[in-house]
Structure 1
């Protein structure tokens, strides 16, 4: 890893040894497109994870609030962990000690990545210039357990975020980034770099990368069954038939 890090020009905002991976594990385009084709994916994938016994990986939009109505994203997690800066914030501001390193994460981003930040409350972990930089680097959005700011900026450029708080208080001089592309804790969900992030207006779902194909296969079956049931509603099928939970499966011959 050390040789790989040296081959990339870093910003120096965080020590190189605190970057656990220079590139998150990639997910095949076919898998990404399969999840995208589910439409609003979080509800279906949440059900599938329940059925497969995969540990809880879903967070509702009342906790992680979307900043852009109707936004949907599907992509691998590029992770970052912040803590409260371990110096007096007033002295830090006076001496201009900025230890935030999300720009290093942007520097490492590949097209389609989702920045996932284990942040701190009451202080902004990401602002508008940061969002614009991430968008330029190919990120499709961000999930932040903590506060963000500059919502108008990120909305204007079309960079969606899901965050637990909004605040005008800057993270400069107050926040320190301690790790990039290591495991992070997003509310009560542990997320590894390269896990799949799905987010829409209902919430955010994290799928462990080693279970992606299992989840996708069952999610596609459920999505097809739901489409059959919706068509049946439009076609006037009696309710006593519709309430049979296996109606869609029977209709498609499963």
Structure 2
């Protein structure tokens, strides 16, 4: 387990200023040849209208070898996302490379993350207790929702190592961005480059929308937004 490398605070503030801009970020990442965009149809948000950005604090889970009923009888719980919560600093995003078909994060875990100042979580795998996480204001983007606990089925094997989320390699400290439309993982080393171009594109799109509202003819609208 290693310490989480942190992007500069002004970078996080800059991405936050974009609002729900996963589409803009996706366009910029295409232009720069950066892989890291995932659709909300695959990673579904639990809270409509939520938009988060922050450094990724990564967790990697694998399936336990023991039969879950035997593990349940023995109270054998090897999930350790609470260790990630313990390491978290305000503004972090928990990113879990999880196990399909079972819950990798429940309501108490979400409540703990909220208390620690995390802005939300992105989970490749199942989650549960969605009303609980909604009630505490902790948004989660996940590939599955299930009542089946991971306590007797999952082992956490690494915190703050590289993970694979939907085919995207994510390193701890990369910038995680998520909104109603999808999820973007921006490599920390290229975040400033992405942000500068995204701010320019956002300004151009804002101007184009203003011209539409003002009634400018379609043929006269700028095409580079």
TM norm. shorter chain > 0.5: yes
Is 1:123 the equivalent of 2:102? yes
Partner of 1:208: 187
Partner of 2:22: 42
Give the CA deviation at 1:71: 0.2
Aligned partners of 2:76, 2:60: CA distance in 1, in Å? 18
Q: Structure 2 length as normaliser, TM-score?
A: 0.98
Partner of 1:71: 50
Gaps of 5+ in 1: 1-18, 249-254
SS in 2 for 1:77: strand
Partner of 2:160: 181
Instruction: Choose which of 158, 161, 171 in structure 2 pairs with 1:192.
Output: 171
SS in 2 for 1:87: coil
How many residue pairs get matched?
225
Superposition pairs for residues 27-176 of structure 1, below 5 Å?
27-54=7-34, 56-176=35-155
Give the CA deviation at 1:33: 1.1
Aligned partners of 1:114, 1:143: CA distance in 2, in Å? 7
SS in 2 for 1:103: helix
Gaps of 5+ in 2: none
Q: Structure 1 length as normaliser, TM-score?
A: 0.87
SS in 1 for 2:203: helix
SS in 2 for 1:46: helix
Most deviating of 88-97 and 99-108: 88-97
Aligned partners of 1:40, 1:137: CA distance in 2, in Å? 24
Aligned partners of 2:32, 2:67: CA distance in 1, in Å? 47
